[in-house]
Amino acid sequence: MRVSIDVGKCTGYANCVVAAPEVLDVDEVTGKAFVVLENPGPEYESAVEEAARSCPVEAVIVDGAGADGLVQRDG
């Protein structure tokens, strides 16, 4: 799985960081989320899924994930 942030959509709610602090963080200057761990292992899958679901503007992008409710881009 690969995680990215659509910085054009991100408004800095930081719900994603609360859900997956090992994978995502917030830039103190811009106030927007950024990826700390771009290709997290399976042990982070649940947290990443929750991070994507918790984003009110759907800025968390998960490539290659199979869970429902996520913004997904395969290929």
Locus of tokens 């761990």: 37
CA dist., res. 47 & res. 75, Å (int): 22
CA dist., res. 54 & res. 70, Å (int): 10
CATH number of 2-72: 3.30.70.20
pLDDT digits (tens, 9 = 90+) for 3-29: 999 999 999 999 999 999 999 999 999
Burial class of residue 45 in the structure, from the number of CB atoms within 10 Å of its CB (0-12 exposed, 13-18 middle, 19+ buried): middle
pTM for the model stands at: 0.84
The amino acid at residue 56 is P
pLDDT on residue 70: 53
Which residues of 1-75 form beta strands (DSSP E)?
2-5, 24-26, 33-35, 60-63, 71-72
